[in-house]
Structures are given as structure tokens and as C-alpha cells.
Amino acid sequence: MDNIELDWVPREGMNFNTLDSAWDFWKNYGRRVGFNVRKHYANKSKKDNAITSTRFLCSKEGYRGIDKRDHLVIEHRSETRTGCLVRMGIMLNRSTGQFYVHEFVSEHNHILHFAECAHMMGSQRKIADVQAIEVQLADDSGLKQKNVGNFPLGRANLGFLQLDQKNYLRSKRQREMAYGEVGCLLRYFQNKTLEDPSFFYAVQLDNTEQVTNIFWADARMRIDYELFGDVITFDTTFSTNKEYRPFGVFVGFNQFRGLTIFGAALLYDETSESFIWLFNTFLESHGLKKPKTIFTDQDAAMAKAISEVIPETRHGLCTWHIMQNGIKHLGNLLKEGSYLLSEFKKAMFEYEDEQIFEDCWKEMLSSYSVEENNWLKSIYKVKEKWAKCYMKSSITLGMRSTQLSESLNGDLKDYLKSNFELNNFFKHFERVVSDKRYKELQAEYDAREKLPKLKVKTLPLLIQAGKEYSPLIFERFQDEWEKSLLCFIKEQKELNGMNEYLMASYNETHEYICISNIFEETISCQCLKFETFGILCSHALKVQDVNNVKLIPNKYLLKRWMRVARDEILEKTDQNLQVKF
């Protein structure tokens, strides 16, 4: 066909010289639009066995057939077919010997894949193999070879304005940089800005004009923060070990509850003044958007900086670090038969009521005669930053520690050693970031390719949730729906035009109050599941069901948890930043 290369969209009457060229055309169309393809049937002539007609489909055509052996299967494979009608019908023109399109249906009934996921589709994998050969995964510095297939995500050309910020630290930095590292570092960042105009970096000098602290974020980090920067952690795992570079990283959850990176830093000074510079720089790189919650370790200088730069942001302390400090400071009290640490753990994770927490805390101190323990006194003073009963009013997305970045730090550990060349650290950092992003791309593909497993396939609530939520969040929501089957209304009364329900459950001793307004489609629960995690709780779902509300109101569908969280165009009004997909 002469005009295949010029027109990649099928149309009725289009001609092909061979069936292979028609199939290649259909595969190319699927790749460009974002769907997997397959062949349906081929009719052959009884006279000469020549193919007279065939049909090419979207791979989601039809539905999975019923297998009589299904009851023997413990875990079924995920369903991928949705009954999609997209197809291209081909017939042979005997007079010309060519094949022509006699039928074309273009409307899909499912979400489509991103272009970056094309190589993951079965019909496109040969293209991916060719692309993979071109990926350079190792350099002359001795970086370990990775398996071919760790494709980095393409960076969008977003048009961020480069912010050239250079603030001064009034004192001398606490740690020294090796000879030649400053030049290496600045060359690296200058090259990155040439490659990517949206790449952001900032440098702070000390009072002797020495580079002291560095922060950077690429275009993808800035986009990710725009989408998922409501809850973040900042971790400086190796900062206290002089053997390693003082690396810090800002991370959070994407819509799959996977790790996403918002920015990184090298901090050769860790005073409150340096952290103030860092957090201000972080905000500037992200258009001054502030997180709702931030988790850090228990560092006084960092806490002071957070209270000054982002006082509206809820500051939570890493529970893992607190438990490690608890073992360290209470170890001498953990005699045989002592449950002091277990009681402390309950105070951190179990008590939902503040008064119960206070009563149990006093009882713990008295039972183990630790009223004067200095560490317990100090940790109690910041109880609002770690105890569940105080943190549950803040959005945390289920995050309670900085351990989200543990895998990232583990991958970087060997390259953070001070005797390892700085330019090779940056190369490895880029590759680790690419690996994390590729895993997210795989999650994107799976979320669009595989259908959720509904406990009740005809229930409108689950159908809606399965369509809207990412797979893991849907599973969490479906768990809440299952729990709602055990919930019941113990008391009900009307209060100022609102309906108040006292909710109980057959498998819980705790009771919660739900308040509903049917006309305004609002529902709230004392357990604060929605406020904390972002999905409706079992108690709210029971009330909704009783009130014949069979779908999730849009206001309770958080965009950050949706399958298509990355699909819509996002624009910031700040003149320095415009983010688009």
C-alpha cells in the first residue's frame, strides 16, 4: 500500500498488497493508540485455499470462557478482556489481488495504555527488543551490569524555568568534600540542565564560599510531586556515618502505593539553618506547593526547620526509628518477663482514643517505675508526632515511617561511600531512579491491562471502585466493603438536619459515630479512615448502603488513588511552573 506510512489510522476502502502488511499496519495502529492486538479468524477459499477474509481485533475483545475446572483453581489469573468491539475487517478483492478494509470500529470500552508501555504489549515486544539493545547500561567506571530491560522513562519537555538559587550558610560547613568534587558536581548539573531545561538544582555555600549543600530534582520528580506530594518523607539514613556521603531524599507514594521520588540532596552541613535552606529550596522547586504531612527521623535541627518553613504541614516522626531508640534507651529495663516495650508499642500503634492513650501511658510508667526515665519523658513531649490517636486526624496514606526509601537507600549504599567517585554516584543514582520508574511503568501497564477481581461481580459499588481505583487501593476498598457486611447500626438519631449513627461490628469492640447528609451526599466517620487514608471506611459504607447510596460520591474518590491519576493535564497558576502530561 503506497500511503501506509502517511496515514496510520484505518479507514474503510483502504488497500493492502498482502495480509502481512495489513497485520503490520494494525499492530502499528495499536501501538500508537495504546492497545494490544490479536487476530480473530481467517476464511479460506475451498477452491485454491487462499484467504478471502480475516479480522483483526483489540486483544480485549470478548470475555473469558467458563471452564468446568475453575473450581479446582485456587488463584485465578487476572481477567483482561472487556468485550471491546474495536476491530478491522479485511477482504480479498479477486480482481486486483489486493486486500481492502471493509469494516472498521474504533471506539474502545476500556482505558488505553501510555505510549511508554507499548513494548510491554505482547504484539509489540519485538519492537522492545530492538530498543533494549540500544540502551547503554554500564560505563567504564565499573558500574555493575544490569539485565537488559530496565528501560528509563522518557522525560517530558515541560518548560520549567530554571531557578538559579545560591544562598549562603553563615558558618563553615561541618563536613569536607574531596578535592575535585565541586567541579565534578557543577559540571554534572550544568550538563543536566542542557539535556533537560526543566531540571532544577540549587547550591548553598558556607561563609568561606565553599559548596556545602546541594539539592536537585528532574522534570519527572516535579511532576510526581504535583500529583502525589500530599504525604512525603525525608530520610538521611547515612548522614551520621562519615564513611558515606551525606545523602538525603524526598519520597512518597504514587497511586499504586509504590515509591516515587520528589528530590534529592547532599548535605555537608546539618544545622537547622541548612535544613531551612533545604526545605525552602524544595518548595521553590515545586512551585511553593506544601505537603500536608511529612515524616522524618527525630532530629531537632530538622524539626526546627520544618516548624519554621512549613508550619501548616503535619510533622510525623518515623515509628521505626522511635522503636529502635526505645530498644536502645529501655534495654536495661527489659528484664525477663518485662512487657515494657510491648506496652510502648501499643501506645504507638493501637490506642485510637486520646484519653485511653493517656490513661495507659500513666499506667505503664507506674507499673514499670519509669516515671523519671529521661527518654520516655522526651518522647512523650512529642506524642502528637507518633501516637496513632493523635496522628489519625492527619492524612498519612498508611505511612508511619521513613522506611519507604529503604530499598532506594539499599541500592545506593555502595555508591554513597566517600571513596567512590562522585560522578559515578550520580550515574548510579540515575539508573536506580530509572529502575524504580520502570517498575511503576509496569504497574501502570498491569492496571490498564488486567481487570480487578470482584467478590461480587454485579455489585455497582465494586464495579465502580474496580474501574476507578488502582489495583492495590481497590483491594483495600474491597476489604472495607467486606467488613461493612459485619457492621450494624446500634443507634440512630437526627441532629440539626444530619443523621447520626452509632456503628458497631460483630468482630470489633470499638464503636464509631457516623454522620450523614443524604441531600449533600456527605458522610463522615469517627474512625477517620477517609481523612487518614483516602478511602471510605466499612462504617461509612454500611450507612451509605442503608441510605440506598449504591455508588461512591465523586468527592470521596481521590484522584491520587485512581488508575488514571496521570492522565489529566495539570496546570499551576504560578508563572514559574506549568506541568502538563
Kindly list the domain boundaries of the chain, sorted by start residue: 15-110, 157-318+401-450, 319-393, 460-561
pLDDT band at 488 (very low <50, low <70, confident <90, very high): very high
pLDDT at residue 46 in the model: 82
- Do the Cβ atoms of 125 and 89 come closer than 8 Å? no
Phi and psi at 118, nearest 5°, equal -55, -40
pLDDT at residue 561 in the model: 97
pLDDT at residue 16 in the model: 93
pLDDT at residue 115 in the model: 75
- Do the Cβ atoms of 532 and 394 come closer than 8 Å? yes
What b-and-e string marks burial along 478-503, b requiring 16 or more CB atoms within 10 Å of the CB? Answer: bebbebbeebeeeeeeeeeeebebbb
| SS3 per-residue string spanning 338-373 | CCHHHHHHHHHHCCCCHHHHHHHHHHHHHHCCCCCC
For residue range 380-427, list pLDDT tens digits in order: 999 999 999 999 989 999 998 888 776 677 777 766 666 667 777 888
End-to-end CA distance of the chain: 34
pLDDT at residue 202 in the model: 93
5-8: long-range contacts (C-beta < 8 A, 24 or more apart)? 8/32
Q: Is 548 exposed, middle or buried (0-12, 13-18, 19+ CB in 10 A)?
A: exposed
For residue range 366-387, list pLDDT tens digits in order: 999 999 999 999 999 999 999 9
pLDDT at residue 125 in the model: 60
Rounded CA gap, 169 and 176, in Å? 14
- Do the Cβ atoms of 89 and 12 come closer than 8 Å? no
pLDDT at residue 137 in the model: 38
Mean pLDDT of 558-578: 66
Find which of 96-110, 277-291, 317-331, 506-520 is predicted with most confidence, using mean pLDDT. 277-291
pLDDT at residue 455 in the model: 93
CA 142 vs CA 153, 336, 478: distances in Å: 24, 51, 48
pLDDT band at 275 (very low <50, low <70, confident <90, very high): very high
Higher-pLDDT residue of 291 and 69 is: 291
Task: Reply yes or no on whether the pLDDT at 264 is more than 80.
Answer: yes
pLDDT at residue 426 in the model: 85
pLDDT at residue 527 in the model: 95
pLDDT at residue 399 in the model: 92
Sheet holding 522-525, edge to edge: 487-495, 498-505, 508-517, 522-525
**Nearby residues of 409 by Cβ (< 8 Å), 6 or more positions away:** 235, 237, 238, 247, 249
Rounded CA gap, 528 and 533, in Å? 8
Note the Cα 306 to chain centre separation in Å.
24
- Tell how strand 51-58 and strand 165-168 pair up: unpaired
CA 373 vs CA 278, 322, 333, 522: distances in Å: 34, 15, 10, 46
Q: Over the chain, what is the mean pLDDT?
A: 82
Task: Reply yes or no on whether the pLDDT at 482 is more than 60.
Answer: yes
**Nearby residues of 46 by Cβ (< 8 Å), 6 or more positions away:** none
pLDDT at residue 528 in the model: 96
CA 177 vs CA 173, 174, 234, 242, 419: distances in Å: 10, 10, 22, 12, 11
Cα–Cα–Cα angle for 490, 495, 501, nearest 5°?
Answer: 20
pLDDT at residue 411 in the model: 74
Rounded CA gap, 81 and 57, in Å? 12
List the grid coordinates of 540: 461509612
- Percent of the chain at pLDDT > 70 equals 80
For residue range 118-167, list pLDDT tens digits in order: 777 776 765 444 344 333 333 333 333 343 343 333 433 333 323 333 34
Rounded CA gap, 239 and 301, in Å? 13
User: Quick check: helix, strand or coil at residue 56?
Assistant: strand
For residue range 490-531, list pLDDT tens digits in order: 999 987 779 999 999 998 888 999 999 988 889 999 999 999
Mean pLDDT of 239-262: 82
| SS3 per-residue string spanning 270-295 | CCHHHHHHHHHHHHHHCCCCCCCEEE
Rounded CA gap, 277 and 288, in Å? 14
- pTM given for the model: 0.76
For residue range 317-331, list pLDDT tens digits in order: 999 999 999 988 888
- Tell how strand 314-317 and strand 15-16 pair up: unpaired
pLDDT at residue 462 in the model: 97
DSSP state at residue 577: -
For residue range 180-238, list pLDDT tens digits in order: 567 778 888 889 999 999 999 999 876 666 778 899 999 999 999 999 999 999 988 65
List the grid coordinates of 120: 510491554
Which helix (H) or strand (E) is 430 found in, with range?
Answer: helix 422-449
